[in-house]
A and B are shown apart, each in its own frame.
Chain A
Amino acid sequence: LAKITQPISMDSYEGQEVNITCSHNNIATNDYITWYQQFPSQGPRFIIQGYKTKVTNEVASLFIPADRKSSTLSLPRVSLSDTAVYYCLVDPSTGANNLFFGTGTRLTVIP
């Protein structure tokens, strides 16, 4: 399994762009990178998934360098409602597709 490292916590002011970087040095060829968001008292929610380069959806962007040993989740213009824990996962694309969550990054958005 790829070892995942991400910051324990981050603070940001409303309206700023937030970038959360995750390292996954021993990512395998078949692995995808997936990010989830979890609010208190709720289950994790899928945000975005990518394999390489850049992926963008209505919620976030995901930047993955060529070596794929890290990835950066970018949240544009955060609001107070983006305060949550963000999990970076490496997700095998074939075979056993069980997800193992790390400690995540607790993002606090400050007014």
Chain B
Amino acid sequence: DAGVIQSPRHEVTEMGQEVTLRCKPISGHNSLFWYRQTMMRGLELLIYFNNNVPIDDSGMPEDRFSAKMPNASFSTLKIQPSEPRDSAVYFCASSPREGYTFGSGTRLTVV
């Protein structure tokens, strides 16, 4: 079991550029979550999917953020255009029910 796989591990981009973060959940897990973590705001839930369907995206900060889950083994979080305040660590997690498994995160720096 390779766990939840996120890519890239690190991303540095210039303000205004499009950024795409990727996540491969654990096979068989039917829920997938995107979190953002900063020193100031801690861990924030952005959006989650059940069976590939977005259930709650109320945590998505603004229209610049979008997430998709085209199939059970892949999800993306896109920021377009990116801004310096988007700099954070973005985590993906998946779950069957008990015990969510988090990926190692993508550290995004927008300069």
Min C-beta distance of B60 to chain A, whole Å: 13
State which residues 83-111 of A face B: CB under 8 Å.
87, 96-104
A46 with B45: CB separation less than 8 A? no
With A43-B91, A43-B104 known as contacts, the answer to whether A98 contacts B99 (CB < 8 A) is no
- The interface of chain A, by Cβ under 8 A from chain B, is 34, 36, 41-46, 49, 87, 96-104
With A96-B56, A98-B48 known as contacts, the answer to whether A46 contacts B99 (CB < 8 A) is yes
In the complex, the number of residue pairs spanning A and B with C-beta atoms less than 8 Å apart equals: 48
- The interface of chain B, by Cβ under 8 A from chain A, is 4, 31, 33, 35, 42-43, 45, 48, 55-56, 91, 93, 95, 97-105
- Residues of A contacting B: mostly: loop
Question: What is the chain A residue whose CB lies nearest that of B45?
Answer: A98
Question: What is the chain B residue whose CB lies nearest that of A100?
Answer: B45
Give complex CA distance A14, B75 in Å: 41
With A42-B104, A98-B48, A102-B42 known as contacts, the answer to whether A49 contacts B33 (CB < 8 A) is no
Give complex CA distance A98, B56 in Å: 9
Give complex CA distance A103, B98 in Å: 21
Residues of B within 8 A of A102 (CB): 42
A45 with B102: CB separation less than 8 A? yes
With A43-B91, A44-B43, A49-B99 known as contacts, the answer to whether A99 contacts B33 (CB < 8 A) is yes
Given contact pairs A46-B98, A96-B56, enumerate 14 new A-B contacts (beta carbons under 8 Å): A41-B105, A43-B4, A43-B91, A43-B102, A43-B104, A44-B43, A44-B100, A97-B95, A97-B97, A98-B56, A100-B45, A101-B35, A101-B42, A104-B42
A46 interface neighbour in B101, B104, B105, Cβ under 8 Å: B101
Residues of B within 8 A of A96 (CB): 55-56
Question: What is the chain A residue whose CB lies nearest that of B35?
Answer: A101
- 8 CB < 8 A contacts A-B: A43-B93, A44-B43, A44-B93, A45-B102, A46-B98, A97-B97, A98-B45, A100-B45
